[in-house]
């Protein structure tokens, strides 16, 4: 018979417990500490807890930076600065919302009970993995955290390699551009007809397609990867596409999107759809339990997930106020996203997916400094609901932001 889980010290019974040490978890702790310096904070994470900017994962190769070099603040320093009890290498097995406790598995194999007064889920998201055929399907890489980057860079090695990227969305294009600048040969496979098809108007997508192609990207649109096999040819892997074409590669990188990590919340009976459903104050369907970041589906954003930096920062500030005793509804401002594709700098302020309207090309100002493109998303009443800027037009970010109606 296994031993009963040990209880943690009673002084943590009313603690604010945060699950997840990514940007959402650490930012919530920091914002809460600005308002409350005495309530115990316990942060639980399955990894090391070191703080780094996740967007830097997709430009590490060109800068020749290792995973360790991306860390801006070690976990121990973060914990000391914010007066946080840090539980690293610790798995949360389940949440008991009635007893307000977590069952933890620690790094040394022990099981413990962690009580909470308020609980924040900042569990992030997992890369979507397709079921591929072939004897090398398990060798397909994805990058969503520092340890993933370690494995990817180890697979790349020192010599120039050919990398096949699955997905021409935001992350796929960022990695493609980064790998090209790092001296690698790059193929990109996507079922659509152009890069960033879900975010950009067609003309902007074609600009990006041409810019990355000029750097060396070989595009395979209207196709998906069906199988990845080991081979004895010039490259160790062969990817078979839905078109029947076979592409040789040293490494295959899947960048087809993220899926919110809702496992703990769902198992505890909380309402989950595309993410953990939260109301305007970021509370889940369970009392005293809140969620934000890549795992959350925000009522304030029209029941959407928003896996970007600025939504996390805004959500953390509002949540910290609520947790410290001042109920605060989250209201998202306009949050343009800068896409890290130096081949064609691009800024996107997307309209709500359900917003009716159309992209309209904006007249370019005369002069070489304005080379690029500008598009406004206009609703049926003629109001601007979003915009896209490329190249030199990205300098007009503030101008078009002011003209956008939320």
Is residue 179 predicted with pLDDT exceeding 80? yes
98 has a pLDDT exceeding 50: yes
**Which DSSP string do the residues of 215-237 spell out, in sequence order?**
HT-EEEES--EEEEEE-SSSSSE
Q: Write out pLDDT tens, residues 261-299.
A: 999 999 999 999 999 999 999 999 999 999 999 999 999
CATH, domain range 6-126+259-323? 3.50.50.60
pLDDT in tens, 102-145: 999 988 888 999 999 999 999 999 999 999 999 999 999 999 99
Q: How many Å is the Cα radius of gyration of the chain?
A: 23
Supply the pTM of this predicted model: 0.91
pLDDT at residue 245 is higher than 80: yes
Domain parsing of the chain, residue ranges: 6-126+259-323, 129-256, 345-402
Residue 158 reports pLDDT greater than 90: no
> Using an 8 Å Cβ cutoff, are 144 and 160 in contact?
no
* Per-residue pLDDT at 353: 87
User: Residue 118's closest CA among 30, 34, 29, 45?
Assistant: 29
Query: What per-residue confidence (pLDDT) applies to 107?
Result: 82
- Express as a percent the part of the chain with pLDDT over 70: 95
In the chain, the percentage of residues whose pLDDT exceeds 90 is 88
Domain 345-402 is of which CATH architecture? 2-Layer Sandwich (3.30)
Q: What is the pLDDT of residues 333-346, one digit of tens each?
A: 999 999 999 999 99
Topology alike, domains 129-256 and 345-402 = no
Average pLDDT over residues 169-193: 96
The three-state secondary structure class of 65 is coil
pLDDT exceeds cutoff 70 at 6: no
pLDDT higher than 50, residue 368: no
pLDDT, tens digit (0-9, with 9 covering 90-100), for 311-320:
999 999 999 9
Q: What mean pLDDT value characterizes the chain?
A: 93
pLDDT in tens, 371-396: 689 999 999 999 999 999 999 999 99
HEC string of 266-324? HHCCCCECCCEEECCCCECCCCCEEECHHHEEEHHHCCECCCCHHHHHHHHHHHHHHHC
Alpha carbon distance 231, 246 (integer Å): 11
> Three-state SS for 257?
coil
Task: Please report which confidence band the pLDDT of residue 364 belongs to, taking 50, 70 and 90 as the band edges.
Answer: low
- What's the CATH number for 129-256? 3.50.50.60
């Amino acid at each position: 018979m296994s031993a009963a889980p040990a209880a943690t010290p009673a002084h943590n019974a009313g603690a604010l417990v945060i699950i997840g040490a990514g940007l959402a978890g650490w930012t919530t702790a920091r914002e809460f500490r600005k308002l409350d310096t005495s309530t115990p904070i316990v942060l639980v994470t399955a990894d090391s807890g070191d703080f780094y900017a996740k967007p830097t994962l997709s430009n590490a190769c060109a800068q020749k930076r290792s995973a360790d070099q991306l860390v801006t603040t070690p976990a121990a320093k973060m914990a000391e600065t914010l007066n946080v009890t840090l539980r690293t290498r610790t798995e949360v097995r389940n949440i008991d919302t009635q007893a307000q406790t977590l069952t933890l598995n620690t790094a040394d194999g022990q099981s413990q009970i962690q009580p909470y007064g308020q609980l924040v889920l900042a569990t992030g998201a997992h890369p979507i993995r397709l079921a591929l055929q072939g004897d090398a399907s398990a060798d397909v890489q994805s990058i969503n955290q520092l340890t993933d980057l370690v494995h990817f860079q180890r697979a790349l090695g020192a010599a120039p390699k050919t990398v096949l990227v699955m997905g021409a969305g935001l992350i796929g294009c960022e990695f493609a551009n980064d790998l090209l600048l790092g001296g690698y040969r790059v193929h990109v496979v996507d079922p659509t007809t152009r890069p960033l098809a879900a975010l950009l108007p067609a003309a902007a997508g074609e600009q990006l397609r041409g810019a990355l192609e000029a750097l060396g990207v070989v595009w395979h649109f209207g196709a998906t990867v069906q199988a990845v096999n080991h081979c004895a040819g010039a490259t160790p892997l062969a990817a078979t596409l839905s078109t029947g074409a076979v592409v040789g590669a040293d490494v295959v990188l899947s960048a087809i999107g993220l899926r919110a990590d809702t496992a703990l919340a769902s198992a505890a009976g909380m309402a989950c759809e595309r993410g953990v459903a939260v109301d305007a104050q970021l509370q889940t369907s369970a009392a005293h339990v809140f969620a934000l970041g890549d795992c959350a589906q925000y009522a304030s954003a029209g029941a959407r997930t928003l896996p970007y930096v600025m939504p996390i920062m805004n959500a953390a500030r509002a949540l910290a106020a609520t947790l410290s005793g001042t109920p605060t509804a989250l209201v998202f401002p306009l949050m343009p996203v800068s896409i890290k594709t130096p081949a064609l700098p691009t800024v996107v302020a997307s309209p709500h997916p359900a917003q009716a309207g159309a992209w309209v090309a904006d007249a370019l100002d005369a002069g070489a400094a304005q080379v690029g493109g500008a598009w406004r998303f206009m609703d049926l009443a003629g109001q601007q609901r979003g915009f896209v800027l490329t190249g030199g037009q990205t300098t007009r970010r503030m101008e078009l932001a002011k003209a956008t109606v939320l």
